[in-house]
Chains A and B, each alone.
Chain A
């Protein structure tokens, strides 16, 4: 089974609108971390936000927030007030336990429309 599933290959959003990128995960570990990364066309992976499995509050970082629903094993990324510079690939990733190995989803390509 896939560890991380991103079901939206591509998404479009109007500038200044909010958008939700879906991510579901599969693990039997009690301790894990969920991450979102942004990858622009240049290729670099930019860390956006982190959610720990024991964190009770949803993580927020500026315009990014993570809608963490543990029972559903989902960790959706919400981007508020979209900007043209938000157009990029977005990857959801999971780390199990305290290791450094990541499992990546297949990514969602986000295009922000002026």
Chain B
């Protein structure tokens, strides 16, 4: 079964509004989670590293004020797309790894459509 869960799977929002996406590790604690964005037929682009209890680390070119990341607990990281615009429409996916073990688990992903 899934060990990393993302919610919602699909979200449609109006331009100018904010939308929050949750990423949960279900049976392990994740001090670090990662948020990716994927455009159609392209690879995953790392947006930011979410660190429990501290500020997220953003990749170059990613607007931290637009993509707010909060990692308030060891099992939950949230990505909030603020003042969303149609160009923010994309597939967002998170990942987390157990502190022991070699596998990184991905959430189911979230399809965001801004209209």
Q: Are A43 and B32 in contact (CB under 8 A)?
A: no
Return A42 CB to nearest CB of chain B, in Å.
8
For the complex, give the distance between the alpha carbons of A39 and B84 in Å.
Answer: 26
Please tell me if the beta carbons of B91 and A91 are within 8 angstroms of each other in the complex. Answer: no
Q: How many positions in chain B have a CB within 8 Å of any CB in the partner chain? A: 23
Q: How far is the CA of A50 from the CA of B43 in the complex (A)?
A: 19
Instruction: Let me know if A68 is at the binding interface, CB within 8 A.
Output: no
B49 within 8 A of A: yes
| B-side interface mostly | strand
CA distance A33 to B108 in the complex (A): 23
Residues of A contacting B49 with CB < 8 Å? Answer: 101
Which residues 31-55 of B sit at the A interface, judged by CB distance below 8 A? 32, 34, 38, 41-44, 46, 49
> A45 is contacted by which of B42, B46, B93, B111 (Cβ under 8 Å)?
B93
Question: Shortest beta-carbon distance, A100 to chain B, in Å?
Answer: 4
- Type the 1/0 row for A93-110, where 1 means its CB is closer than 8 Å to any CB of B: 001000011101111010
Contacts of B91 in A (CB 8 A): 43
Q: A52-B102, A100-B97 are in contact. List 10 more A-B contacts (CB 8 A).
A: A35-B103, A45-B44, A45-B93, A45-B95, A47-B106, A91-B44, A100-B34, A101-B46, A104-B43, A107-B42
B residues apposed to A, CB below 8 Å = 32, 34, 38, 41-44, 46, 49, 91, 93, 95-97, 102-109, 111
